[in-house]
Structure 1
Amino acid sequence: MGRGKIEMKRIENRTNRQVTYSKRRQGLMKKTKELAILCDAQIGLIIFSGTGKLHTFPESSNSLEQTIQRYLNVQGIQLPVHDNREELYSELQALREAIHNAELRIRNYLCEDLGPLPLEDLQKHEQQLELSLNVIRVRKNQLMQQQMENLRRKEQLLQTDNGNMYRWLMGGVQLQEQQQQQQQLMGQTTLFIEEQPSSSTVLELATSVLSLPPSTHS
């Protein structure tokens, strides 16, 4: 039985797609090489895989470049030749000058190499420093205000905690005093009960008094 017809669409499975690419690329390279050798044909083949990997035939870059140049000559296509060395040199000079000027400004901000500066440049430099100082002062004041607000909030929290602690301690002291008062009251009650004569003792005393002779009562 023959193989079923494969639908020409992108293989969604990445592994299957990579395996198919590898097999078919090898087959294409083999057929290209056979065609070039058997028919003495000049062939150039460029392949980029899905991951960006480059495969070429012939493998030599010089041979491939000759094939591409021959194709351009036959088609009458001329690639624009742009020598940008002068442009790059001008850009390099501009960058060097910008770096030099930046270094000079930094040294001037550090109050170095001020001798060559004329009076006008010194005045501009002074004005710029004053503006910078004003910005610094404003930012410093903002930070100080933030710190003061943080300290105030911390102070309020500490006062609240101290108040809660004081009330808790005073509540404990009052409870302890109440307990001591209750203990004292209980002790006094017990002492009073112990000092009172019992009912049997009072009855015995009354009986003995009644049993005495009359003379004794008189």
Structure 2
Amino acid sequence: MARGKVQMKRIENPVHRQVTFCKRRTGLLKKAKELSILCDAEIGILIYSAHGKLYELATNGTMQGLMDKYVKTTAGAGSSETTVDGKAKEKQEIDMLKNEIDFLEKGLRYMFGVGSGTMTLDEMNTLEKNLEVWIYHVRSAKMDIMFQEIQLLKNKEGILKAANKHLQDKMDEHFWGTSNFLPVNSSNQYYPLTVDSEIYQV
């Protein structure tokens, strides 16, 4: 009987889907090995299952070696375009940082009354927002440090309490274990050491 054509869509039955995955994965890896042997080709395959399990194949050497070779090979492709774009982005970032540094220096000079520079209303609004952000970060860092110190003191308190209880238990154990208390005769009655018996009477 001729084998029916498999429809290219997701298999809904999880059991059938797992069985198909195992069979086709094995076939794919087998074909890759055969191609590598027959054609002396370097082949690397990475497969992640639906559950996130990794299956890999490197016909010659290791997968890391193939990845390094791939990176070196593709590094030259489009290098001129990427270099121009990269330099433009770097220049833009440098200019942005320079403007930000100049603005911060100008704001500091204005706050401390150094120099004769003035600030526009927009610059002062921006500086005010930056100061609010800085104060928030400083307060947050301060609260984190205070919380850590409180937790450290609580831990030390717990350790000291446990050590104190341990020492107290040891003292109580030593005191009650070594003390010998004799019965006290509250009445002054005399108890003779000999017992009268009619057997010894003549």
Instruction: Please indicate the TM-score interval, normalised by the length of the shorter structure.
Output: 0.3 to 0.5
Which is higher, the Rg of structure 1 or of structure 2? 1
Structure having the higher helix fraction is 1
TM-score (norm 1): 0.36
TM-score (norm 2): 0.38
